[in-house]
Amino acid sequence: MTPALLEKLPRAWPPVAPAPGWHRDPALAPALAACRQATRTHATSFFFASRLLPARKKSAAYALYAFCRWVDDAFDEIEHARQPPDAAALARTLDEILAGRSPLPFAPAFAAMTREHGIERDWCRDLIEGCARDRVPLRLRDLAELEVYCYYVASVVGIMMSRIFGLRDASLLPRAVEMGLAMQLTNILRDVREDYERGRIYLPAEDLARFGVTEEQLRAGRVDESWRALMRFEIARARAWYAGAELGLPGLDGDGSRMTARVMGRLYAGILDEIEKHDYDVFSARRYVPTPRKCVILAQCLAGA
């Protein structure tokens, strides 16, 4: 992990003790239901893994996901309207959400969750900034830029989820960051063609040059030995990050939080297996982990515990 990324880690990590029954407040019921539905519809792998969590942590995790989904959808709408991303407007809406003045369906649950779990406003703003970067033509030069990009759009979510999952040892935060790096790089490898069609190349230019892969090859969707060599290199990098992330799992609560994080990481890592299984062809079809395979991964994690 580059020094620039380590500098972004939170300077303070005070302990929190969320009220055990905060999620049972009748006033939050509609918002919590909206959060659960958003997660069930749009984050099937996480929803699958979250069955291991206690109810109050499920509610918190779903509220966090609903916020992340709202940020992502907001920039999608801007993109479709061909307008510049307006991160400042979303940051103002974030302030309204946290102050309890937003009509958004998920807002009351998210605001309550941030109070109970000590979620910093700046982490939410970082996610908004990262998604704003993600909605313009983008090129990354090297590993350092890849890590910073992945931090803003994924690792910061891992930091917030670490609060929900009970991480108390701040020295393990780099492991949470690595989980975000690994998962986002997995997304990048899975979505190369779709991203290219939107004007984005997240594979670092130095890696493309190293293996002789050109933009023309991305446009053509050509799988040859240079492409396979690049993909093997990137998959090995992602797997190293997944392995690093697992070293931090013992620092999470043993109430299902630790196992949920392990299952989620391995489900996502399973996408890499699917890419390999299809000879590194991510151009002709979207690679994903089928439900029967998800069940096998879940069983393996539980047996390993």
The pTM (predicted TM-score) of the whole model is 0.95
Model pLDDT, residue 305 = 66
Query: Is residue 167, in this structure, part of any structural domain at all?
Result: yes
- Decide if 44 contacts 79 (C-beta within 8 A): no
Tokens (6 digits) for 49: 């893994």
Query: Is residue 35, in this structure, part of any structural domain at all?
Result: yes
80 and 215: one domain? no
* Nearest-angstrom CA–CA distance, 211 and 231: 10
Query: Is residue 126, in this structure, part of any structural domain at all?
Result: no
96 and 144: one domain? no
96 and 158: one domain? no
92 and 188: one domain? no
Tokens (6 digits) for 256: 């299902």
Cα-only R_g, the chain? 19
Query: Is residue 144, in this structure, part of any structural domain at all?
Result: yes
Query: Is residue 176, in this structure, part of any structural domain at all?
Result: yes
Q: What is the distance, to the nearest Å, from the Cα of residue 31 to the centroid of all Cα atoms in its chain?
A: 22
167 and 43: one domain? no
Q: Decide which of 72, 89, 121 is a domain's last residue.
A: 121
157 and 273: one domain? yes
* Nearest-angstrom CA–CA distance, 173 and 245: 9
Q: What is the distance, to the nearest Å, from the Cα of residue 191 to the centroid of all Cα atoms in its chain?
A: 14
Task: Give how many domains the chain has, as a whole number.
Answer: 2
Q: Decide which of 90, 121, 152 is a domain's last residue.
A: 121
- Decide if 186 contacts 279 (C-beta within 8 A): no
32 and 79: one domain? yes
CATH classification at residue 245: 1.10.600.10
229 Cβ contact list (under 8 Å, min separation 6): 211
Closest CA to 230 of 282, 298, 266: 282
Model pLDDT, residue 84 = 56
Query: Is residue 15, in this structure, part of any structural domain at all?
Result: no
* Contacts for 233-236: CB closer than 8 Å, 24+ residues apart: 233/207, 234/185, 234/188, 234/189, 234/203, 234/207, 235/189, 235/272, 235/275, 235/276
104 and 152: one domain? no
Model pLDDT, residue 134 = 76
Model pLDDT, residue 304 = 85
156 and 107: one domain? no
Q: Decide which of 121, 156, 186 is a domain's last residue.
A: 121
188 and 279: one domain? yes
Query: Is residue 7, in this structure, part of any structural domain at all?
Result: no
Model pLDDT, residue 303 = 93
Expressed as residue numbers, the domain containing 227 is 137-305
* Nearest-angstrom CA–CA distance, 296 and 184: 23
82 and 187: one domain? no
Q: Each residue's pLDDT tens digit in the chain (305 positions)?
A: 888 888 889 988 999 999 999 999 999 999 999 999 999 999 999 999 999 999 999 999 999 999 999 999 888 765 555 565 689 999 999 999 999 999 999 999 999 999 999 999 999 999 999 998 877 778 999 999 999 999 999 999 999 999 999 999 999 999 999 999 999 999 999 999 999 998 899 999 999 999 999 999 999 999 999 999 999 999 999 999 999 999 999 999 999 999 999 999 999 999 999 999 999 999 999 999 999 999 999 999 999 86
Tokens (6 digits) for 234: 């990137």
95 and 67: one domain? yes
Cβ atoms within 10 A of the Cβ of 259, count? 20
Query: Is residue 59, in this structure, part of any structural domain at all?
Result: yes
